[in-house]
Amino acid sequence: MKATVALLLDHDVHNVVRKLAVEVHQTYQIGFAGSQLPPHVSLKQPFSIPSLPVVEAYVDQLARSIDPVALTFPRIGGPADASVLWLEVEETPILRSLHTRVTQEVAERFPGTQAPFDGPDYHFHLTIALGGATASVYQAMIAELASRNVAFRAIARHLVLFYYDDDQISPGSFLTYKILPLGKTEEGLNDT
């Protein structure tokens, strides 16, 4: 079993991201593997969990302690060596501290939670497309879309817990388990 903790975006962001996913699929025939979960910005990559109820209790407490977060998406991009297309997320001190905090708290509570991309080099992003073609095809997509003006801001008002029933994260073995509002009020909106 595995879990992921992420900031969940609203329907406006969902609509932008899914429109892009359909567009690149129609051009490159890559499928919709990257669209199986709602648009989100991960705070903690998938990690092994001992028990879903124990992780759920942690996420319940975590959501109450985080205020809504303003996010900026400046451009389309992706890594040079992988089959991933994403919206870049501008890193802010708040976003970096949330990733560091969640990674540390999860490691303190549960054994063996380090994921390959966690840590100070983690690159914040919102996945548009994943898999279905080689990294070189994805590089062509990125080059084609790099000049497109997609810059926008959005406010993450919810935390999401994704649950994976197997360690391979195979299609059909995962779901959006729980969505929780962030904080108690919007007075503490964070955007820096």
Strand, helix or coil for residue 128: strand
Identify the residue whose tokens are 């962001």. Answer: 13
Q: Is the pLDDT of residue 187 over 80?
A: no
- Say which range, 24-28, 38-42, 148-152, has the weakest mean pLDDT: 148-152
Q: What is the pLDDT at residue 192?
A: 45
Per-residue model confidence as pLDDT tens digits over 98-134: 999 999 999 999 988 888 788 888 999 999 999 999 9
Q: Give Dmax over CA atoms of the chain in angstroms.
A: 45
Q: What is the mean pLDDT of residues 144-172?
A: 89
Tell me if 189 sits within 8 A of 156, measured CB to CB.
Answer: no
Q: Is the pLDDT of residue 73 over 90?
A: yes
Count CA within 13 A, CB hemisphere, residue 148: 14
Identify the residue whose tokens are 């994943």. Answer: 130
R_g of the chain, CA atoms, integer Å: 16
Tell me if 86 sits within 8 A of 78, measured CB to CB.
Answer: yes
Distance separating alpha carbons of residues 11 and 75, to the nearest angstrom = 19
Q: Is the pLDDT of residue 172 over 80?
A: no
Q: What is the pLDDT at residue 12?
A: 95
pLDDT band at 166 (very low <50, low <70, confident <90, very high): confident
Q: What is the pLDDT at residue 185?
A: 54
pLDDT band at 180 (very low <50, low <70, confident <90, very high): very high
pTM for the whole structure = 0.92
